[in-house]
Amino acid sequence: MFAGARTGKATTFERCAADGVEDVEYTQSRAAAEQAGAEIHLISLTSGEIQSMNQDINPDNRYRVDRTLDEANPADYDALLLPGGTVNPDRLRMTPQAMDFVRAFFQQQKPVAAICHGPWSLVETGMVNGRTVTSFPSLRTNIRNGGGTWVDQQVQVDNGLVTTRNPSDLPAFCARMVEEFARGEDPRQTATA
């Protein structure tokens, strides 16, 4: 996960990720947010570094964790991004504390963005219920079973929630993510579960 910290000057947001995050999803979305002036924090399950992957199976880069879930408070951030890869979101959704963290952004009506397999966290937390989202096609049934509507398009925005299918959609996704994160809190971005 990555999130932006509240500084009073620029949007700060959090990125929540664990080992197995897809490198291009992490780096391109982070770069887009930083270019827009956001302060980014990488939040993870443990301290130290996380290992990114290329196409889910090839180790790529390592990234320093800024804060663990124990150290991070959703109230200190303006927005949340959940990058994909298959291993990263699977690890996150198996961790109740991570799912509480994700749910808090919805409860606080803050923008959330998810890439590729990132919407698994939305399904696990119940936040996909009643929403229209896109994702990697293999999540289609999970999203429908979670009460969401799945669409096959580059980017889907639903009341402060921005989702995309895969790394090839990142340019369009990043533009919409930055736009929604700049817009800020949305009273329609409420917890549905």
| Residues identified as active-site | 116-117
C-alpha 168/C-alpha 135 separation (Å) is: 12
Supply the DSSP symbol for 15: E
User: For 147, phi and psi rounded to 5 degrees?
Assistant: 90, 10
Q: Pick the closest to residue 138 from 125, 119, 159 (CA basis).
A: 119
HSE-up of 119 (CA within 13 Å, CB side)? 34
- 20 exposure class (CB count in 10 Å sphere: 0-12, 13-18, 19+): buried
Q: Pick the closest to residue 11 from 72, 74, 67, 78 (CA basis).
A: 78
